[in-house]
Amino acid sequence: MVSLSDINHDSVRYKRKRRVGRGVGSGYGKTASRGQNGAGSRSGNRRRRGYEGGQMPLFRRVAKRGFSNAAFASEIAVINVDQLEKRFEDGQEVSLVDLKNAFSFSRKVVVKVLGRGELTRKLTVCANLFSKSAESAIVAAGGSVVRV
Residue 82 lies in a domain: yes
pLDDT at 1 (0 to 100): 67
Are 59 and 91 within one domain?
A: no
pTM of the model: 0.55
What whole-number percentage of the chain has pLDDT above 90?
A: 64
Query: Is 140 within a domain?
Result: yes
Residue 125 identity (one-letter amino acid): V
Q: Extract the residue ranges of the chain whose pLDDT is less than 70.
A: 1-2, 9-10
88 and 140 together in one domain: yes
E strands present in the chain: 76-80, 93-94, 110-114, 124-127, 129-130, 144-147
Query: Which pLDDT value is given to residue 6?
Result: 72
15 inside domain:
no
pLDDT digits (tens, 9 = 90+) for 123-137: 999 999 999 999 999
pLDDT of residue 133: 95
Question: Is the domain of 120 the same as that of 138?
Answer: yes
Residues of the domain holding 44: 20-65
Q: What share of the chain is helix, strand, coil (3-state, %, to 5)?
A: 25, 15, 60
Q: Are 88 and 56 members of one domain?
A: no
DSSP state of 37: S
Can you give the pLDDT at residue 90?
Answer: 92
User: Cα 73–76–80 angle (5° rounding)?
Assistant: 165
What's the total number of domains in the chain? 2
- Gap between the Cα atoms of 47 and 64, Å rounded: 24
pLDDT at 2: 67
Interatomic CA distance for residues 109 and 129, integer angstroms? 11
Q: Is residue 25 part of a domain?
A: yes
Cβ pair 76, 109 in contact under 8 A: yes
